[in-house]
Amino acid sequence: MPAHMTPEEFRRHGRQAVDWVAAYHERVESLPVASRVAPGEVRAGLPAHPPEQGEPFESLLEDLDRVIVPGLTHWQHPSFFGYFPANASGPAMLADLISAGLGVQGMLWATSPAGTELEQHVLDWLAELLDLPAAFRSTGAGGGVIQDTASTATLTALVAALHRATDGAARRDGLAGAGRQCAVYASDQAHSSVTKAVVVAGLGETALRAVRVDPSTQAMDPGHLAELVAADLAAGVLPVLVVATVGTTSTAAVDPVPEIGALCRAHGIWLHVDAAYAGVATVCPELRWLNAGLAHADSYATNPHKWLLTNFDCDAFYVADRGALLGALSILPEYLRNAATESGAVVDYRDWHIQLGRRFRALKLWAVIRWYGAEGLREHIRRHVAAAGALAGWVRADDRFELPAPANLSLVCFRLRGPDEPNEKLHARINESGAAYLSHTRVGGAYTLRMAIGGTHTRLDHVERAWHLVQRLTTDPPGPETTSGSRS
């Protein structure tokens, strides 16, 4: 019998671990946001071989401080403004701990009825909070399921879309079952996971049509989408899926879903709306314009693990009609047969995604919604949207800078006017300072800094300090008369 941790030891070390996390959150603001380790440095701090004898839990906690923390970029630092946020919060962390403790496998209703029913219920709550169309509720033809990520949601939508577009032939015969080439459409600003989905699904990258965007908004040009679909139809290609993005990764642009949806409906094309970052913002009634056109969507995904206080991973994926999804993915081997499944009275979530086994992630979303309430969630979003509005104003007031795309929601993209190089240098200086962390993108080809506001503990004063840092670290890019000679 190995030396399992006794319940008494678990209590003691559990308190140590919780204390460690609480202390980490208290001191994270004093740490440099981005890790400064060199490649290989973390591994060099670890023993080459696993221990032959078990070690005390305390030595693990010591190594956490010694080796791991210096090798972290602190995503929970209030001055972390890179990529999109990855919120962690007290209730979500504790519920995740409970989920780990329960250690249940919710692949079937029968393998843990509460796992399935809580997930259905909480996703109905979320649909209500975000004011999503009624078709996405479990009480209608569709329903929601928690996926690990928005990337998986896009791939899952593609598999369901292929099933529907080929009347089931793709499931039986693979792509040969389609009888012709298939096409997927997304704007050139869509997330890279759309490319990955066409690759993984076996369609290949050439199946993906990059729809142009309006350069002033970075949103999909529906006229170009219509042209691409018409050209494919004329060439005998089968249009399978359109991915519209609500809140693009680069600039938080919002594709015109009503126009895109009307086109999809006219041609029977599956519409998936990827609202990974922005979707959760519709908890605020004044941001519900983001939901325009969702009545046309066959599927929809948003990530509470980005901006809704639920630590990674938690993607809420909804379908308007679960028929195609289940048709594409249901498999019932003998060893999973059970009376509840045969009765048809229950949902078996293993038919709603790619993998079989699944974690009990609904617990953390449930904990978040109950702890904060709709009011608390709205405050969280509003605080960041207001801070982004203030930042955009400060950027506009400093004529060294420009906003190459409109500031949307809690994301502000800005750059020094002129060439890329001073922007790249400024960006490096900001991140090297340790006082704030930003990531970058290109807008119309130009190197652009992105400041995504949305950390659990990020307030207006953090944003203000970061902006002052940006200003302080800015050296005026050389004007036409000051060339390299005058300033080496």
Ligand X SMILES: *Cc1c(COP(=O)(O)O)cnc(C)c1O
151 contributes a contact to ligand X by CB under 6 A: yes
**Helix H or strand E segment including 27:** helix 7-27
The site for ligand X, by CB under 6 A, has a size of 15
Can residue 84 be called a binding residue for ligand X (CB under 6 A)? Answer: yes
**Span from 160-168, 244-252, 255-263, 401-409 in contact with ligand X (CB under 6 A):** 244-252
The residue from 245, 311, 408, 448 that contacts ligand X (CB under 6 A) is 245
Q: Which is nearer to ligand X, 170 or 283 (CB)?
A: 283
Q: Is 391 in the site for ligand X (CB under 6 A)?
A: no
**Identity of the residue numbered 424:** E
Q: Which of 438, 434, 433, 431 is nearest to 412 (CA)?
A: 438
Phi, psi of 414 (to 5 degrees): -145, 160
Tell how strand 182-187 and strand 238-245 pair up.
parallel
Helix crossing, 222-234 with 257-267: angle to 10°? Answer: 20
> Does the protein bind ligand X through residue 76 (CB under 6 A)?
no
Paired with 408 in beta bridges are 411
Pairing of strands 315-319, 299-302: antiparallel
Question: Could you say which residues in the range 178-237 bind ligand X, by CB under 6 A?
Answer: 191, 193
Segment contacting ligand X by CB under 6 A, of 22-30, 274-282, 395-403, 475-483: 274-282
Of residues 279 and 422, the one with the C-beta less far from ligand X: 279
Q: How far apart are CA 179 and CA 169, in angstroms?
A: 9
Out of 274, 298, 348, 351, the residue judged to bind ligand X by CB under 6 A:
274
Stretch that binds ligand X, among 32-40, 257-265, 273-281, 330-338 (CB under 6 A): 273-281
Spatial contact of 171 and 201, defined as CB atoms under 8 Å apart: no
Q: Which of 277, 349, 352, 372 binds ligand X (CB under 6 A)?
A: 277
Task: Determine if 431 is a binding residue for ligand X (CB under 6 A).
Answer: no
8 A C-beta contact, residue 412 and residue 392? yes
> Which residue's CB is nearer to ligand X, number 87 or number 245?
245
Neighbours of 19 (CB within 10 A): 11
Q: Report the residue from 221, 259, 315, 351 that binds ligand X according to the rule CB under 6 A.
A: 315
- Contact between 81 and ligand X per CB under 6 A: no
The answer to whether the beta carbons of residues 260 and 242 sit under 8 Å apart is yes
- 250: which DSSP letter? T
Q: How far is the CB of 284 from ligand X (least distance, A)?
A: 19
Q: What DSSP character marks residue 111?
A: G
Radius of gyration of the chain (CA): 24
Residue 150 interacts with ligand X (CB under 6 A): yes or no: yes
378 in contact with ligand X (CB under 6 A): no
As a whole number of angstroms, the distance between CA 306 and CA 329 comes to 27
Q: Which is nearer to ligand X, 211 or 470 (CB)?
A: 211
3-state secondary structure of 244: strand
Residue 315 Cβ vs ligand X, minimum distance, rounded to whole Å: 5
Phi, psi dihedrals of residue 400, rounded to the nearest 5°? -75, -20
- Give the nearest distance from C-beta 71 to ligand X in angstroms: 21
Q: Which listed range, 59-67, 147-155, 163-171, 285-293, lies at the site for ligand X (CB under 6 A)?
A: 147-155
Residue 149 found at the interface with ligand X (CB under 6 A): yes
Residues that bind ligand X (CB under 6 A): 84, 149-151, 191, 193, 245, 247-249, 274, 276-277, 303, 315
